Amino acid sequence: MKRIIVLVLALALVFSLAACKGNTPETTTVPAATDEATTAAEPVSTPENPVIRLATTTSVNDSGLLPYLLPTFEAATGYKVEVASAGTGVAIGYAKSGDADLLLVHSKSQEEAFIEEGYASTERLSFMYNYFVIVGPADDPAGIKELATAADCFKAIAESEAGFASRGDNSGTHNKETSIWTAAEIDPADAAWYSSLGSGMGDTLTKANELGVYTLTDKATFLSMKDSLPNLTILKEEADDMKNTYSLLGVNPEAEAFAGTDVSINTEGAKALIDWLLSDEAAALIKDYGVAEYGEQLFFLIEK
């Protein structure tokens, strides 16, 4: 009898252990799910010389194009771009003094002179353009709106003495203005209706707005400031003599003018930025810039 009781108890214990095992899940190591939206991007290694000094014209900066483009380049490469924005003449001056690693400017004659003087490490790399426009009072006192060319418009402004504000700063825009006056066979320098301001595009637009006079500007900068310029409107655009081409130039660290000085040019960084600005990625960004905010493309790529 005792044997039977012991046997029954033993069997009960076996079944009890089996039941416990069946109710206990197996422990399995499962990799944590990866949330692509929250996973940090792979850190980008910092280049040996991480600062690139870009000297450029005010139009690509004041228009918002560079602030739009550069964060993408910096995030992808680890470089930090320091932008010195001025008229083309001043920007080229920065490069000639060794205070820039590359140029992004828009004055062909000045760019070619820079190359001839041995300051460039690259050829003139023209890659995009936009248009200069003539802006002025909505009532258009000189009657330029229906005229065919910028030179025709300048003639009408001079004949009406309606008033014109010039940058007067040896910038690419100022040089373009000068070439249009030359084509119109007019020298306005001493005319009472002509104001040479010696200032950047933003300041010139502000002054033209205050005076209610005409001026020449790149379209992108005007549109970026339009809300603060109630007295100005675009009266002439996209004429054959108003195309505005932008080029890249690397600075030559072995330029004769730098011999015996402590000038140091970040050639590797300059090349990285030039290559990126000429890339398909940058091209797509440039093509889209302005469409959402202004309803139109502001800069156009030069077909290779």
Q: How much of the chain exceeds pLDDT 90, in percent?
A: 73
**Tokens representing residue 159 in the block:** 């004949």
pLDDT band at 37 (very low <50, low <70, confident <90, very high): very low
Residue 294 has pLDDT above 70, yes or no: yes
pLDDT band at 29 (very low <50, low <70, confident <90, very high): very low
pTM metric for this prediction:
0.78
Q: State the sign of the Cα–Cα–Cα–Cα dihedral 105, 109, 112, 114.
A: negative
Write out pLDDT tens, residues 178-194.
Answer: 999 999 999 999 999 99
Q: What is the pLDDT of residue 42?
A: 64
Q: Quick one: 51-129+243-301 is in which CATH superfamily? A: Periplasmic binding protein-like II (3.40.190.10)
Residue 126 has pLDDT above 50, yes or no: yes
Q: Which CATH number, 3.40.50.261, 3.40.640.10, 3.40.190.10, 3.30.450.20, labels domain 131-241?
A: 3.40.190.10
pLDDT band at 44 (very low <50, low <70, confident <90, very high): confident
pLDDT band at 13 (very low <50, low <70, confident <90, very high): very low
Beta bridge partners of 107: none
Between 76 and 19, the higher pLDDT residue: 76
What interhelical angle do 88-96 and 108-116 show, nearest 10?
10
pLDDT band at 101 (very low <50, low <70, confident <90, very high): very high
Nearest 5 degrees, angle CA 226-CA 206-CA 225? 20
Same fold across 51-129+243-301 and 131-241 = yes
List all residues 6 or more positions away from 201 whose beta carbon is below 8 Å from its beta carbon.
58, 59, 62, 167, 171, 173, 217, 218, 221
Nearest-angstrom CA–CA distance, 214 and 232: 8
- The predicted model gives 40-55 an average pLDDT of 84
Between 235 and 63, the higher pLDDT residue: 235
Point out the least confidently predicted range of 19-33, 111-125, 137-151.
Answer: 19-33
pLDDT band at 142 (very low <50, low <70, confident <90, very high): very high
Asked whether 282 and 276 are in contact (CB, 8 A), the reply is yes
What's the chain's average pLDDT?
A: 87
pLDDT band at 62 (very low <50, low <70, confident <90, very high): confident
**Domains of the chain: which residue ranges?**
51-129+243-301, 131-241
Point out the least confidently predicted range of 42-51, 79-88, 113-122, 244-253.
Answer: 42-51
Nearest-angstrom CA–CA distance, 139 and 187: 25
How far CA 188 is from CA of 111, 125, 184, in Å, comes to 26, 33, 11
Residue 97 has pLDDT above 60, yes or no: yes
Write out pLDDT tens, residues 219-267.
Answer: 989 998 999 999 999 999 977 788 889 999 999 999 999 999 999 999 9
Residue 170 has pLDDT above 50, yes or no: yes
